[in-house]
């Protein structure tokens, strides 16, 4: 890859093309940041005056053990969805792609954990401005509970880490057989470390600009937008850029979808994901005390 890149860099036309594409991407990112900053500055006021006020809302007077255990159990269920993703994607992929699917699922989970511990959770759930949070990096100086939930802080972190891991793994299914291992790592860093936490802060952060819209605030219960729409759009973008899988023959050319190599794995993976939803959705209540609400959401 490096040898091919060196050869292309020697070509004048390729250098011009590369420079134009890079400049366009940088301008696009800067333009998006300027627009978000302008919107948040014009319509919203900063939630905090300075860093000394970063403690924000006082935590609950005690850790609610029932709600904390409910959140932890829900986190276990959501984490178990990784096994479902690995089964589902490996079953629908070709035999030669199975190892890539399994390795990507394991490494992505480890990488997401490190990123979400280092800065992902801080970007997403810490106080800051309407665009991004900027406290609690490496989970330092955190309160006993998250905001006023009564849920122990690390239990809440574990639950949200499982969500972040799910968002990144959703993406991998659309690109099975199209990316190498390094490609998996790079998009995992982008999704888990930056895209998901920053956009998630807009909707779920304590001072996100989407949650602060007036007269009607944006609501997302259990991640239909924050987790799955983000994962879906990234998957769509990846599929468009990478193109069809090697060997794929379209119907117009006398072919069709590539057959799954193991429908048993795929079916079991689908049911595991179904089971994991009972942690994803009812667990998002963060309260086992709301028995009627948990039952309603689960149903």
Per residue in 101-125, pLDDT tens?
999 999 999 999 999 999 999 999 9
Residues whose CB is less than 8 angstroms from the CB of residue 13 and which lie 6 or more positions away in sequence, other chains included:
none
Mean pLDDT, rounded, of the chain: 87
| Residue bearing tokens 């993406």 | 171
Render the burial of 122-148: b for 16+ CB within 10 Å, e for the rest. Answer: bbbbbbbbbbbbbbbbeeeebeebbbe
- Per-residue model confidence (pLDDT) at position 173: 83
Q: What are the structure tokens assigned to 129, written together?
A: 């401005």
User: What's the rounded Cα separation, in Å, for the pair 156 and 163?
Assistant: 11
Q: What percent of the chain has pLDDT over 70?
A: 90
Helices (H), the chain: 2-9, 12-43, 65-92, 98-115, 121-125, 153-174, 181-190, 196-204, 230-242, 263-280, 291-298
The β-bridge partners of 249 are: 256
- Residue 52 predicted with pLDDT over 50: no
Per residue in 189-246, pLDDT tens?
999 999 999 999 999 999 999 998 888 889 999 999 999 999 999 999 998 998 888 7
Report helix, strand or coil for 247. Answer: coil
User: What's the rounded Cα separation, in Å, for the pair 8 and 3?
Assistant: 9
Render the burial of 156-171: b for 16+ CB within 10 Å, e for the rest. Answer: bbbbbbbbbbbbbbbb
Upstream peptide bond of 215 is cis (omega within 30 degrees of 0): yes
The β-bridge partners of 36 are: none
| Residue bearing tokens 């401005």 | 129
């Amino acid at each position: 890859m490096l040898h091919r890149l060196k050869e292309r860099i020697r070509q004048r036309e390729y250098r011009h093309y590369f420079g134009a594409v890079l400049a366009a991407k940088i301008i696009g990112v800067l333009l998006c940041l300027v627009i978000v900053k302008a919107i948040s500055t014009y319509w919203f006021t900063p939630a905090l005056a300075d860093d000394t006020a970063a403690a924000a809302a006082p935590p609950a007077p005690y850790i609610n053990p029932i709600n904390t255990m409910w959140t932890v159990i829900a986190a276990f269920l959501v984490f178990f969805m990784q096994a479902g993703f690995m089964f589902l994607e490996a079953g629908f992929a070709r035999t030669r792609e199975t190892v890539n699917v399994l390795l990507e699922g394991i490494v992505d989970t480890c990488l997401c954990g490190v990123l979400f511990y280092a800065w992902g959770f801080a970007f997403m759930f810490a106080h800051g401005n309407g665009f991004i949070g900027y406290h609690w990096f490496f989970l330092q100086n955190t309160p006993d509970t998250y905001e006023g939930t009564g849920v122990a802080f690390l239990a809440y972190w574990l639950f949200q880490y499982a969500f972040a891991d799910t968002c990144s793994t959703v993406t991998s299914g659309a690109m099975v057989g199209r990316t190498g291992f390094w490609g998996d790592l790079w998009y995992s860093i982008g999704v888990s470390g930056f895209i998901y936490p920053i956009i998630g802060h807009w909707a779920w952060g304590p001072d996100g600009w989407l949650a602060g819209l007036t007269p009607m605030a944006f609501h997302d219960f259990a991640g239909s937008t924050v987790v799955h729409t983000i994962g879906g759009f990234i998957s769509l973008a990846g599929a468009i850029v990478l193109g069809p899988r090697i060997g794929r023959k379209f119907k117009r050319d006398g072919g069709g979808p590539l057959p799954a190599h193991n429908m048993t794995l795929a079916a079991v993976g689908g049911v595991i994901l179904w089971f994991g939803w009972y942690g994803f959705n009812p667990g998002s209540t963060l309260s086992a005390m709301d028995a009627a609400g948990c039952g309603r959401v689960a149903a």
